[in-house]
Chains A and B, each alone.
Chain A
Amino acid sequence: MIRIDQLPLNETYFRMAHQLAKFALTFAFFVISACSLTAPGQQVHGQSSGFEPNSHPSSFDCDTAAGRYYEVNAATSVANARVTGFMQVLTLNTASAWPPDAGLIFAGPSKLPRVGLETFVLPDKPAVLQIAIRGAGGAADHTVFASVPISDLKIPFTLRLSSSGQLALSFGDAATSLSVGPIDITRMNLYCSSAHIHFSEVQLDSDN
């Protein structure tokens, strides 16, 4: 006896047609989603922070997507503060209006003043890292004193802030100084935005 498991012919074709339709829809979805990858996306310049009292990180891997910001803080109130360490650029994300930016600053309990090292990449000079010293006047108060070709080399830095308000900065072979006036600092801040930056061997102490 022949066992018949087959569905009636019409139903079989109906199921095949159904599967074909499912496949067509899946394929259309694949093509549409794949080809829409080039559509510009919107990024929010978000911020996250972690204040870590009495902790002095010796390294900080700061990895942010385009338009994102990340920072770490270490409490300090020493006079004549000095920070040394290395900074290494690993990835630059240029997909947002916020250009790659990273730095090391001294700050008080408030958002401002923030003084110290600021590095960034200008959109029309994507192969060059701009090195600036940041004064007490806010985000626009920075002076580019050197630039280096973008590379993944570990670049040494030293930042000093004297109790009289003299800021001294060296980055690689370049150095500069700036009078920022007496500032009541409570923290050292490492940050990056739209980039993957590795800070290593960061030491915070006093020149006293």
Chain B
Amino acid sequence: MLMRLAAHGVCKKRFARITRCLAALSVMSSLAACAGVGVVDSPDPLVKLNDAAYLFQKENRTVPAETLIQEAIVIYEKRDDPHGLGNANREYGDFLRSAAVFNWRDAYRRNGFLDRSVTYDNRLEKASEHYLKALEYYRLAETQEKAAGKYDALTNVYYNMALSNFALGARDEACADYDRALRAYNDNMQRNPTADPHGSQAGTVPDSIAAAKKGADCKEEVT
């Protein structure tokens, strides 16, 4: 009887220890799978960028947002992907100019950013540098996409160039980029009549471009 009770006690202690270990392990693994609290990590850099944009635009959460953008930059550099690097640099510019960074100004004044060359006070100049860098990468991507005849990707490149130019206050260049995006879209549809490119909340790709041009106060393209 005593032996049985002793065995039962040991067994119960082991069970409790295993339970605690399992609990700790599951909490750690859940945190490891998160890019931040509540943010499921993804190896896809585009998902990282989309998550980052949501975090700093909608949730005022700058720390995981900046981490995700920097992770995306590292992945795109490894892949030598100029289109991705253009997107990542443009988004870092958006991040530095965001209201969320302003809201956390005390923390950024005290601790700085992950990119140590950025300070709270020079963040707007640094944002412009990142938009310029994005444009350089987009031009590189433009050359590659043209050579490969990828007009769907080219549409996207021009659209993103427009956003970068608009962020830099270069409205005329932005409007010209929107027009080039529309031409690339039309080229793509001529070459691939069955293609079904995704638009945006504004509608089809031409609808989205028209809405963006209206937002940027562009004139109608002279044909």
CB-contacts of A96-128 with B (<8 A): 100, 121, 124, 126-127
Partner of B37, one of A34, A40, A92: A34
B interface, size bucket: 35 or more
Task: Identify which of A2-10, A51-59, A135-143, A184-192 touches chain B.
Answer: A2-10
Q: Contact: B99 with A38, CB < 8 Å?
A: no
Partner of A23, one of B2, B19, B99: B19
Asked whether A207 is an interface residue with its Cβ less than 8 Å from the other chain, the reply is no
Asked whether A1 is an interface residue with its Cβ less than 8 Å from the other chain, the reply is no
Q: Contact: A149 with B124, CB < 8 Å?
A: yes
> What are the nearest 5 A-B pairs in CB distance?
A37-B38, A92-B99, A127-B97, A95-B58, A34-B38
A interface, size bucket: 20 to 34
Asked whether B202 is an interface residue with its Cβ less than 8 Å from the other chain, the reply is no
CA distance A12 to B23 in the complex (A): 20
B12 cross-chain contacts in A, Cβ below 8 A: 12, 16
CA distance A34 to B127 in the complex (A): 31
Asked whether B10 is an interface residue with its Cβ less than 8 Å from the other chain, the reply is no
CA distance A94 to B54 in the complex (A): 11
> Which B residues are within 8 Å of any A CB, using their own CB?
2, 5, 8, 12, 15, 19, 23, 26-27, 30, 34, 37-40, 51, 54-55, 57-60, 94, 97-100, 102-103, 105, 124, 127, 166-167, 215
Q: Contact: B54 with A27, CB < 8 Å?
A: no
CA distance A94 to B65 in the complex (A): 15
CA distance A149 to B39 in the complex (A): 31
Look across to chain B and name the residue whose beta carbon is closest to the beta carbon of A96: B58
CA distance A16 to B15 in the complex (A): 8
CA distance A202 to B59 in the complex (A): 32
B15 cross-chain contacts in A, Cβ below 8 A: 16
B23 cross-chain contacts in A, Cβ below 8 A: 23, 27
A84 to chain B, nearest CB (A): 26
Q: Contact: A93 with B19, CB < 8 Å?
A: no
Asked whether A150 is an interface residue with its Cβ less than 8 Å from the other chain, the reply is yes
Q: Contact: B105 with A152, CB < 8 Å?
A: yes
CA distance A33 to B105 in the complex (A): 29
Asked whether A36 is an interface residue with its Cβ less than 8 Å from the other chain, the reply is yes
Partner of B102, one of A2, A4, A38, A92: A92
* A–B pairs, 26, beta carbons within 8 Å: A2-B2, A4-B5, A6-B5, A16-B12, A31-B30, A35-B38, A35-B39, A38-B54, A38-B55, A40-B54, A40-B58, A91-B103, A92-B102, A93-B60, A94-B57, A94-B58, A95-B57, A95-B58, A95-B60, A100-B99, A126-B94, A126-B99, A127-B102, A127-B124, A149-B124, A152-B102
B105 cross-chain contacts in A, Cβ below 8 A: 152
B54 cross-chain contacts in A, Cβ below 8 A: 38, 40
Q: Contact: B58 with A124, CB < 8 Å?
A: no
A149 cross-chain contacts in B, Cβ below 8 A: 124
CA distance A79 to B124 in the complex (A): 44
Q: A5-26 CB contact bits vs B (8 Å, 1 = yes)?
A: 0100100100010011001000
Q: Contact: B38 with A38, CB < 8 Å?
A: yes
Q: Contact: A38 with B8, CB < 8 Å?
A: no
If A6-B5, A31-B30, A93-B99 are given as contacts, then 11 extra A-B residue pairs at C-beta distance below 8 Å, sorted by A number, are A6-B8, A16-B19, A23-B23, A34-B38, A35-B39, A37-B38, A38-B59, A92-B103, A95-B59, A100-B99, A124-B167
CA distance A76 to B222 in the complex (A): 54
A12 to chain B, nearest CB (A): 7
